[in-house]
Amino acid sequence: MKSLDLVSSSVAVLLIACSAGSDKPPVFGGEGAQVERAAETPLAQAGDEAEGDAGEERGPCARAAPPSDRLEVDDFEDADSKIFKVFEREGWWYTATDGTEGEQVFPAKGTFAPVPLPQGEASSQNEYAAHLSAAGQTDWGVVWGTTLKWIRKGIGCPFNASGFAGFEFRAKGPATIWVNFPTPDTTPKENGGKCSDKCWDSYGKLVRIKEGWNQYQIRWDQLQQEGWGTDTQFDVERLMNINFSAKTNALPADVWIDDLRFLARNAPAQAPAATAPGATEPAPTLPAPATAPAGKPKGN
């Protein structure tokens, strides 16, 4: 698998391996917005993904992939541009923007890589995180995200997250981020999805990230569409990406993220932090850094 190259590649960012994609740039942040792509080696094709006479889908991705049972997504300790590799799952990080002239974004397109934590925030088991910042975008904003695929025998299909209750991560800001989970129903056909009109209005949740490191939890039953795109149902069995988006009204943005995991079904709902007398915001808490999973591969 090649490293990401968002500047020169002609492969779609939201490539789903049951489709080869197209040379047409995807609409990403909103209707009419366009971005450049991430470079990924297309996976082998097998079967016909077109709909049959009765409207049923055909091909290797017609049925949902088996549900995953591994919680880890990425703790960034291997300092590379791919998520934590588990059985029959892979994903690659990317940056995408609306291309406003003079914009600023970090990591730049095609250079996504974790960075060392600031002095005083690192530990022997938690040295790296993703640092994301952007300013100057005036169309729809910026997206940092990862592809998410189930892989078997050279075929890649949407990822089945039905075995989980949601998603959680650690972050520090301040920043306001739309965390969203594209599925085929919100992804254009030319990018491997099924959407043909007003695409990319993916289910997500607005997260207001505070100063200092805090834990953030997103449960599937908290997700909603923004409302400007095609109305769909959330399909937790067919996730294609995990995206952290900063809209133009939330710029400039400067946020750190770390220790991304799916939420176990039996995980308790996150209790609100205690509020100090006279305070208008919950008092932030600093969770202990997560340890790196045993046997984690290093590098590409």
pLDDT of the chain along its 300 residues, tens only? 444 343 333 334 333 334 333 333 334 555 444 434 333 333 333 334 444 444 556 788 989 999 999 999 999 999 999 999 999 999 999 999 999 999 999 999 999 999 999 999 999 999 999 999 999 999 999 999 999 999 998 899 999 999 999 999 999 999 999 999 999 999 988 888 999 999 999 999 999 999 999 999 999 999 999 999 999 999 999 999 999 999 999 999 999 999 999 999 988 877 654 433 333 334 333 333 333 333 333 333
Residue 37 covered by a domain:
no
Q: Name the token pair of 19.
A: 């489709």
- For 107, residues 6+ apart whose C-beta sits below 8 A from its C-beta are 95, 113, 131, 132, 144
Name the domain count of the chain. Answer: 1
Nearest in space to 44 (alpha carbons), one of 28, 22, 20: 20
pLDDT digits (tens, 9 = 90+) for 196-214: 999 999 999 999 999 999 9
Residue 184 covered by a domain:
yes
Residue 283 covered by a domain:
no
Residue 84 covered by a domain:
yes
Residue 252 covered by a domain:
yes
Place of tokens 């994301």: 132
Q: How do 164-172 and 214-219 pair as beta strands?
A: antiparallel
| Amino acid, res. 133 | S
Residue 66 covered by a domain:
no
* pLDDT at site 57: 65
User: Could you give the CA distance from residue 233 to residue 205 in angstroms, rounded to a whole number?
Assistant: 15
Do residues 186 and 230 touch, judged by C-beta distance below 8 A? yes
CATH, residue 200: 2.60.120.430
Q: Name the token pair of 267.
A: 């995980």
* pLDDT at site 243: 97
The domain of 258 spans: 72-264
Residue 197 covered by a domain:
yes
Residue 282 covered by a domain:
no
Q: How do 175-180 and 241-246 pair as beta strands?
A: antiparallel
User: Could you give the CA distance from residue 59 to residue 159 in angstroms, rounded to a whole number?
Assistant: 16
* pLDDT at site 44: 34
Place of tokens 């029959």: 88
Burial class for 95, CB neighbours closer than 10 Å (0-12, 13-18, 19+):
buried
| Verdict on whether the full-model pTM lies above 0.85 | no
